[in-house]
Each structure stands twice: as structure tokens, then as C-alpha cells.
A and B are shown apart, each in its own frame.
Chain A
Amino acid sequence: MIRRTFKLAWFKRNRYSLTVIAIALSVAFIVSTLLLTTSIADVGEPLNEAYDGVDVVVKGPEVAAGDGPVAGITAPVSSMVVDTLNASGYEAVGFTSPYAQALDPTGNPVGQDQSSANVAEPWLGDSTLNGYEISTGVAPSGIGEVAIDSATADAAGLEVGSTIQYVTDAGLRQAELVGIATFGGADNDPYTSTLLLDVADQVFEPTRGYDYVLVADGEQTATVDAVAPLVPEFKVISGTTWVEDQISQLDSFLGFFSTFLTVFAVIAVVVGMVIVTNTFTVSLAQRTEELALLRLVGTTRRQLMAQVVLEALFLGLAGTIVGVAAGLAGVNGLGWFLDVLGLAIERSDAISTSAIAIGVLVGMGVTVAAAVWPAWKATAVAPIEALRSAELEPPSAGRNRMIAGAVALAIGIGCLLYGIVQTDILLTGVGIGGAFLALYLGADTLVRIAARIVRPLLGKAGPTGTVASRNLERNAGRTSAAASALMIGISLIAFFTLMAATIGQFVAGDSVDGLSADYVVQGIGSQPEPALNDETLAAVATVDGVEAVVPLYSTSVTPVSAAEVERVGPGGASLGVVATEFDSLVLVYDFTINAGSLDDVTSTAVVIDQALADSMALAVGDTVDVTALAGPVDLQVAAIVETSLPGAPQPAIIGDLDLSGALGYDAPATTAYIIGTAGEAALTEAVGLPTIDVLTLEDYVDGLSSNLDTILALVYALLAVAVIIALVGIANTVSLAISERVGEIAAIRAAGASSRQIFWSLISEFGLLALVGVLSGLGLAWISATAFFRALSGGQINYPETDVLTGLLIVLAGLVGGAAASWLPALSAAKADILDVLRAD
């Protein structure tokens, strides 16, 4: 039995080899994306563990909420709070984490990627409030001694006893590395590279106050209710809430990736299932005939089913083994790719068994189910009837299929609409799934309609055309299988192209065109953003050939009235503010002025961009009431410009240098435009810090879109894999569909059709399938993208950026892809020796 099954499978190996490849690719894709998704290290555990001893946290009032490109502003907590609480019998310490970047022994920044923060924190000693524990060496005590987290030490190749260099906003420093620390049992504070310095270090600027005051039980039990009345001007939260906030901040960053990867994993599972199912749907007639014949010679139904299951298991197993192996290798490739992109995701080494289980389940389960179901149906009827129905085309789209399609469509559209209105990501996902299922089930109906429309045209091409249109109309399973493979491929391409265009539109903008600075000086990294302190600016200004230095001071404010917040939209509650030497700015930046005059800019009269004017319905002369560090400030609109400065958030307020002071803001500049002919090398030398880049205008402009490029690179990499899988699926479906028909083709050839006629009839048939697949894929992608972006952006992006030319290109690409996939099978079928087929009977 097993031997016979194996022999049968071996006999059909050519037909099955593509199928096995398709299964393997699908499984590999599923396994690698799922593995990557599940291996994202849990950030909650170390944070909870490290700050277990923090009972209560006191923080300053929030001035502006941090949101995307807009940095949040929280007022500091005064050092008096620490004294008050200690005096009241609690254990309280001030906690601040300013920018600090460790350098490796060669002088390069360590662990510099887009996902990590680089900070200094005070060493809190034996206190339960200290999240760190020294694992090697000793704790830092006094100026000139530091400890670093163990992940940073590994990355930098630094050992206890060596000298370490690091950069703070005050400049370059040197110290002795006395200890290496762990954080809550982990190598580091998740996504953070930390230098632990003596509490008294100047970098913590105790005179300014603290970011937080951490409180633990002393003689008194620390609770929010007990502490709050003691520090009425400040916000008091529990330690648990504080940790949760940090986790959710990290999650909102990681959430993007896990959502993204999960979406891809779901796509992988669906693509895999469809391709495996197609494979078996397409060869239904051949299988039915084979089964009927075996039944005729006396094989029992039980034996037959066992044989079918065994055969499917062989196929599934072969594909799955290869697929899982490739998936395990693939996840490392994906991880490596993320590292290269600077999106280092902290991953655990644990291999998720559930990821592999799902891969195996899809590979084996779907293969067996797809093989067994038609076999079960075929063996349910008398063998002769099965034999006849193998020849006789299955009746037009099964009623069940139509009903299922209609139900899926209703549910899909319902969920999509609800998802769009409520910006609910889950329902949107369900809706997209439903719409997809409806298209999958309804593909044959669509094809049938299309076939009817082009029937007169195909009929003109003679009987081969008639055969082509009849074949399209009569075989539901085969038709929808081929069309759906393309539909998936195209909708993936279209969806991500829309996504790329939309993100691009959202992030970039035309503002760079106005910039004519010769150089831009800017810190590397953004959490927190490294400063260009006065010393650096002064050093740059004295370089030969520098004519002017225009520093930009960025901050954020909150529009005062709730009504204004409402108008700016959810998530847009904070407004980005850029303060600069306005007189110099106009030398390097050519604003497109829509209203007002730049001459009217004073310390409280500002320039706003059109986006802000539109969203808050502002005109020149109007007042914008904002809350800043200094409290409520009234700003006048002096002018409205088309776009804000490059790299600055939109909507934005741009004002003179005095604006910074008026808002109560005293942080250093983060970017400076430079006019002059001084060389890059001279400027770099003057800056003298590896953490600050001197960029030519060109490099700066390129860099602006590099974040986007990174994400797009990731998207396209995954997309390429998905498209390859879809193409293999199409090629497999088409070649199986054609192999189903060799008998028919030979008969027509014997009647005198030339191989050219056969070839073109096959190509036109699959071309029509391709067209239906492509158009439905495009439609699905557009609807999905609309709903998805809305949900993901919380209603900020309502329509994907669409471009008719790109759409046409995609249609063309789909048709070419479909034709390419059917070209070889069609050619070999058309050229096949008639006699081989006729003799085969």
C-alpha cells in the first residue's frame, strides 16, 4: 500500500515538484515571519523586575505630549520634592536620564541604531530604587568613574578597568570603567544603552530639577494617596503605572513591527493555504479519474482514502521539512536584514514551537485537507459516475460556493465599513480577510462574466477561442485557483506600493527645495536628540570660510483650548516649534509665503505653515494660545508659509530666537544650517565629536528620507518573497491546469489546429484570468489600504496616495507576470507530441 502510493507519487513527480516547492516556500515564509514576530524579546519582564522597588513616582506636569516627530515636554520636578519626601519618612531620589553616548575604543558611537536610546543615569547605590545591579567590578563613585550596562559593554568590547570615552551635551568626556551592570536580570534596559554615573555628576543638572522623583517605603509606606498631598504641584503615579508607561512606549515602537510582521505572517499563512489548495483543486479531474479507475478494479473507498492521505502526507511532509528548514534559516536572514537596516530588534534565542507548529499545520494540514476533500467527494459516488463526471465538467459554480462567497462578502464589507468608521485595526483586518475570501470564492463568477463578455471576441479566433472561453466558463475550481494566485500577488504589490507612496507623502514633503545652506550640522540619534552646545556652535562659526551659522532650537507646545486640540486632531495635540535666528534663516531658506510678511516676525509673532493654518482655521493677525514651559503664551500669526522647515514636524510654528525664551525653553540647539565654503573636513574637525555629523546639503536631504527608506526596504524585502511565492503558485496552477487538458489539446491538434493556434488560445485564456486576477487584486488592495491606513493612523490618513500611472504599471506587471508564468507551460503543451498523448490512453 505504502509502496504503491509512493510509486504513484513518484510517477507524478514532475507534476508534483512545483507543488512541493510551492508548499515549501509557503511554509518557509510562514515559519520565518512567525519566528521573527514571536522572538521579539519581552520588554516587560526586565522593567518590572528592575523597578520592583519603586512604589511611587513623582513627575512634572506635561507641557506637550510627545507624538511621533514632535518631542514631548514635561516640566521638571524640583529638588525640593526629594527633601520634602525624605523628611516625611519616605525614601526618595531624583532621577534624570540625559543624553550620553558611549564610544568604543576606536572612538565610534556604540549601539547606534534607530531603535535605541543613549542615556546617562545616576547610580542609586544600594537603594531598592536602583534598577541596576553590578555584575562585574564595582559601582561608580565620584567623578571620573562609570559603569555601563552589559549589552553596551559587549557591543563596545569594553572591559572593567579600561578607559571609556563618552559624549554628553556638555561635550566629550573620559572616565574609568569600573563596573558592568545588569538591568532587572537582563543585559540592559530594553532598547537603551546606559552609562551609570555618580549621582552628583554635573550631567544631571540638579539645579534644573529632575525628570522624576522615585519613591520607596521608608518609615512610611509609600502610596499614591499618601504622597500626593505632600507635593500638590506635581503629578504622582504608582511605580507600576510608571513602568507600564515605559513598556507601552516601547510597545508603541515595537508594536509597529509586530503588527507589521503579524500582518505579513497572516498573509504568509493565507498565501500558503491558497497555493496548496489550488494545487489540488486544479488537478481535480485527473485525480477523480485516477480514483474512479482504482475503484473500478475493486479498491475500497477506505483503501483509496488511505492512499490519498498518504500521498498528500508524502507531499506535505516533503514540502514542510524543506520549508521549516528554510524558515529557520530565513529568520536569521530577516534578523540580519533588520540589523543592517539599523532596526535592531532585541530578540530572544528561544525558538517558538508554535511558529513551527503553525508552519507544519499549514504545510501538512492544508495539503491533506485539500487532497482529501475532493477525493472524499469523488469516491462518494459510483465509480462510473465519477469517471463520467471527471470528463463532464463540474456544474457551474457550486451553490454552496456562491452562498459562502456572498456571506464572506457581506461580513467583509460590514467589518471593513465598521473598521473604517471606528478606525478599528482588528475589524479592519477581519474585513480585509472577508473581502479576500469573497474574491477567492467569487473569482470564478467574475471570470465567467468576463468570459461571457469576451466570448464573441474569442469566438472570432475560431474554435480554439471557443474552447478557451468555454474552459473559462465551465471550471470553477480551476478558474478561481489561477485567478486567485494572481490576485494575491497583485494585491500584495499594490497594497505595499500604496503604503510606500502614502508614507512617503506623509514624511517627506517639498520643503527641502527651499533650503540653500551649504552644510547642515546635526547630532546622530534621536532619543534624546544630541545637542549642539554653544561651544560647538562657536567652534563651527570660527572655521575659515563660514559666513553664517543658523542654529535651530526645537520644542513643542500644546494649543490651549480643547476645541483647538479637537481641530488639530487626535495625536496632533502637540505642535512642533522651531526657534531660530530668523534674519539668518531667510538667507538659507526660501519660504513660499502664502500670506503675511516675514518682516513682521518678533519674539511672539510667528510664522505658521499652511497645514497648521488649515487645521486650526488661522489667518494672518490671528492669535494662537499655547501652553509652554513658561505657562500660557499668546502668539500672533505674522505669516503663513506653504511648508515648514525640512525635517521639522508638520504642522509647525517657526519663530525668532527670542521665542525660545518666551516659551520658557533653554535647551541647546539640535540642528544648524551653515553658509560658507569651509570644507566638510574642517567643519568636522571643529566640531570634534563623533556623535555630531557635518553633512553637505545633498547628504542631508538624502538622510531626511532614510528612515522611510529603511521601512520601505523592509517592506520590499518581505514583498519580494511574497511575490516569488505567488509567482510559483501561478506557474504551478497554470501548468497543472494545462496538464489537465493535454488530452483535449491533442484532440484539437489531431483535427488540424496548429501549435500556434493552441498556444494563443491558452495564452488568451490565461491572459483573461490574469486580467480578472489583476483587477480584483488591485481593487482589494485599494480598499484594504484605505481601511488599514485609517485604522493604523488613528484616522489621520484617510486615503492612500494613488497614482494612476503606478496603477497601470501594476496592471501591466500583473499581466506580464501572468503571461510569463503561463508562457512555458502553454508553449510546451502546444508543442507536445500529439501521439504521446493519444497513445497514453
Chain B
Amino acid sequence: MNTELLDSNNSGNGRPDPQSDDVARLVGASKIFGEDDAAVTALDDVTIGFRRREFTAVMGPSGSGKSTLMYCQSGLDRLTSGHAYIGDVDVSTLTDQELSVLRRSKLGFIFQSFHLVPALSAKENITLPVDLDSGAEVDEEFLAELTDVLGIANRMENRPSQLSGGQRQRVAVARAMIPRPDVIFADEPTGALDSKTSGELLTYLRQAVDELGQTIVMVTHDAVAASHCDRVIYVQDGRLVGEALHPTVDDVLDKIRELS
């Protein structure tokens, strides 16, 4: 596979124009933390779109703004300027209530440190987003399939504290998948896992994209993880500095070396 600077969508400066049918997109997005002297520009005029059924990796050095990009895109955080769209909805126009509904129905989150609810069993944690929606029913068949593929089917009644780190992460993955969200945001989901477990998880995420048509945006530092993706975007100092489609591990490593 070739690393190529972006194709016809390229508007000349290497930046992809988002399409209106993108699942999620940022337009002229900036995020500044703090004020005056202490101000940190975590996102600097970023415009990008995430396509349906695409597995995107977000890479870049520590502190480059990857997490911020993801949080702002998903409405967990507010932009200082610009717009973040989920589908054609501008998240900045939503109330807290609407954002909650958006999260439980259209978005899935996987965090580096799992953030499961200790009071609930693994199964209850997984079905949490659906249960929160009084109208919705859990798709038991899908649940069984998910937990089976993830290898946690026999741990459903256990509390998070009784699970291993990898098992907890897979519970978190299942929780993100269960409402069949438009897009899953994963912030370093393999960061806490060994290479074998992380390999399995990535294979599964890949499968979810290919077979279930899931859209995933994943922040990662791991070139191997990035090589599972359809597309890798590189972030530095809050700006998009590159993009590659179907890169190999070596492509990714080269790019990282080039950036640092």
C-alpha cells in the first residue's frame, strides 16, 4: 500500500474537505485552553471529516491535541471557535439533555482507562446506553454475538472489579458497540493492553468496520494499531499535518520520524 498525499478531495494544502455525508466532521475547529499568557492552543483551525464505514487512526506526539480533537468532535468538550458536526447536527447548538441523548444513541466511547460503573455488572455496563433510553430495547442477539466474539460471554454477571484489564476494556468496547452508534471514538484503547490482547481487540474493531459497517475514530500511539486502519491522520501542535490511506507499519513509523 502507498502512502499518498491526499487525493482529489485535497484542497491544495493537504487538508481533506469534509463531505456533508460524513458521519462526523470538524470545520475550522479551534480550542484554546486558558487565557492570556497561560493560553494553550490545543486545536488550531482544524477541518476534517470522518467517513462512514471507515476506521481512522489519529496519531501525533503527546500533547499534540489528539484527545482534544476527539472530545470536541464528540461534543464532550466545546470548541472555542468553528463547528463540530455529528451527521448534520452542530453539537454546539445542543442542550445538555440533547447531548446526552446523542451520546447514548449515536456515539460510543472507549477510554484508555475503561471508566466502567463499579456498581453495575459487566452485562449491565454493556447495556447501559440502551437502558438509559426508556424507549429502547436491548438487542439480545447482537449482545450475545458481541460478547461471544469479544470472549467475555462467561463474565457477564461479574462486577468490573472482578475482571482483568483486558476484559474490562472488552466490556467497554461492547458498551460502545451495543447501540450501533454512528461513530465510535476510542482514545488509546490498547494503551493498557499487552500486544496479544491489543492485537485481538484491533482485529475485532477491524471486523466491526468491515462486517457491521461501524465507523471508528481511534487515537493511538501504536504504529501497529494504526496499520489496522483505513486511514491515518497526523496531528501536531493542534494542526492536521498529514494523512495516509491504508498505511503499513513502516509507513507510519516513517511519518512519525519525519514529524518529530
Contacts and interface: CB of A to CB of B under 8 A. Distances in A.
A464 interface: yes
A751 interface: yes
Given A747-B116, A747-B117, A838-B111, A752 B132 contact: yes
B133 interface: yes
A762 B159 CA distance: 21
A834 interface: yes
A462 B132 contact: yes
A835 B162 CA distance: 26
Contact of A744 (B71, B111, B119, B162): B119
Given A743-B115, A747-B115, A838-B111, A754 B101 contact: yes
B119 A754 contact: no
Interface string A58-78: 000000000000000000000
A466 interface: yes
B53 interface: no
Given A388-B161, A392-B159, A750-B76, A838 B115 contact: yes
Among A388, A747, A757, the most chain B Cβ lie within 10 Å of the Cβ of: A747
Contacts of B103: 749-752
B254 interface: no
B71 to A, nearest CB: 6
B129 A752 contact: yes
A132 to B, nearest CB: 76
Given A391-B160, A750-B109, A755-B100, A463 B115 contact: no
Given A392-B161, A464-B132, A466-B124, A752 B119 contact: no
Among B100, B119, B131, B133, the most chain A Cβ lie within 10 Å of the Cβ of: B119
A752 B97 contact: no
B160 A463 contact: no
B171 to A, nearest CB: 12
Given A750-B109, A751-B104, A752-B101, A757 B132 contact: yes
Contacts of A749: 100, 103
B194 to A, nearest CB: 18
A247 B115 CA distance: 71
B116 A463 contact: no
B100 A753 contact: yes
A15 interface: no
A746 B175 CA distance: 15
A452 interface: no
Contacts of B162: 392
A392 B158 CA distance: 11
Nearest to B134: A462
B118 A393 contact: yes
A834 B128 CA distance: 17
Given A463-B131, A748-B128, A471 B105 contact: no
A126 interface: no
B65 to A, nearest CB: 14
Contacts of B250: none
Nearest to A465: B131
Given A392-B159, A393-B118, A471-B119, A751 B97 contact: no
A754 B96 contact: yes
B113 interface: yes
Given A463-B128, A744-B119, A751-B129, A835 B71 contact: yes
Interface in A461-502: 462-464, 466-467, 470-471, 474
A753 B115 contact: no
B249 interface: no
B77 interface: yes
Contacts of B101: 752, 754
Nearest to B179: A752
B120 interface: yes
A710 to B, nearest CB: 52
A838 B102 CA distance: 19
A713 B165 CA distance: 62
Given A462-B131, A754-B100, A755-B100, A748 B161 contact: no
A474 B119 contact: yes
A392 B116 CA distance: 12
A251 B62 CA distance: 78
Interface string A741-781: 00110111111111111000000000000000000000000
Contacts of A471: 119
B134 to A, nearest CB: 6
Given A388-B161, A751-B104, A754-B96, 11 more contacts: A463-B128, A466-B131, A470-B119, A471-B119, A750-B115, A751-B103, A752-B103, A753-B104, A754-B97, A755-B100, A835-B76
| Closest 8 pairs between A and B when the two form their complex, measured CB to CB | A752-B104, A754-B100, A752-B103, A392-B161, A747-B115, A470-B119, A463-B131, A751-B128
24 contacts: A392-B162, A463-B124, A463-B127, A463-B131, A466-B119, A466-B124, A466-B131, A467-B119, A470-B120, A474-B119, A744-B117, A746-B115, A747-B116, A749-B100, A751-B103, A751-B104, A751-B128, A752-B128, A752-B133, A752-B179, A753-B100, A835-B76, A838-B111, A841-B113
